[in-house]
């Protein structure tokens, strides 16, 4: 009987502490959408790159809240307009061409590449390597993708 009473007290104690709010276990999900940065009409990067640019290297910035990379999207039902910042900036970044990325993943160098779900129509545009958060190899499905493609997530 003593063991049963101890067990009951122990369980009640744990149950009461389990329901108390704890500041140490809080986490926050960010639903904040970040625009893409297009540098010198060539390099696609995250806006975090702007933090590394000295103001005297910044020539011009154009901000469009509703602009997208392309009208073609991998996720047509989930189109989110994130906006685009176009800038003329004097900066050296490590970049990868679309053909380099495709070749690295064993794809045809001319296969399509998507950034945040939007097709890169200009095959000459490059991607800043420090801005890449994830690369997803998408298999051809015959509906949206006729050939395997890469979807590069930049945040």
pLDDT tens, 49-90?
998 888 888 899 999 988 888 888 887 766 565 789 999 999
Instruction: Name the domain count of the chain.
Output: 1
Q: Which two tokens stand for residue 23?
A: 């500041």
How far is 134 from 155, CA to CA, in rounded Å? 9
Is 136 within the bounds of a domain? yes
DSSP line for 88-132 = EE-----EEEHHHHHHHTTS-TTS-EEETTEE---TT-EEEGGGE
Of all residues in the chain, the percent with pLDDT exceeding 70 is 75
Is 26 within the bounds of a domain? no
Is 100 within the bounds of a domain? yes
How far is 34 from 116, CA to CA, in rounded Å? 11
Nearest to 100 by CA among 140, 45, 150, 46: 150
Is 9 within the bounds of a domain? no
What residues make up the domain containing 111?
36-154
- pLDDT score for 66: 83
What is the chain's Cα-based Rg? Answer: 24
Is 16 within the bounds of a domain? no
State yes or no: pLDDT of 45 exceeds 50. Answer: yes
């Amino acid at each position: 009987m003593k063991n049963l009473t101890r067990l009951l007290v122990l369980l009640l104690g744990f149950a009461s502490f389990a329901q108390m709010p704890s500041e140490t276990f809080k986490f926050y999900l960010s639903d904040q959408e970040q625009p893409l940065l297009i540098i010198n009409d060539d390099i696609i990067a995250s806006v975090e790159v702007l933090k590394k640019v000295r103001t005297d290297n910044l020539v011009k910035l154009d901000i469009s809240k509703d602009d997208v990379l392309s009208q073609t999207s991998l996720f047509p039902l989930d189109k989110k307009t994130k906006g685009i910042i176009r800038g003329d900036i004097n900066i050296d970044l490590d970049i990868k061409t679309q053909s380099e990325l495709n070749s690295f993943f064993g794809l045809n160098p001319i296969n399509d590449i998507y950034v945040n779900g939007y097709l890169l129509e200009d095959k000459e545009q490059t991607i800043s390597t420090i801005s890449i958060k994830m690369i997803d190899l998408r298999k051809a499905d015959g509906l949206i993708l006729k050939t395997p493609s890469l979807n590069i997530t930049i945040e």
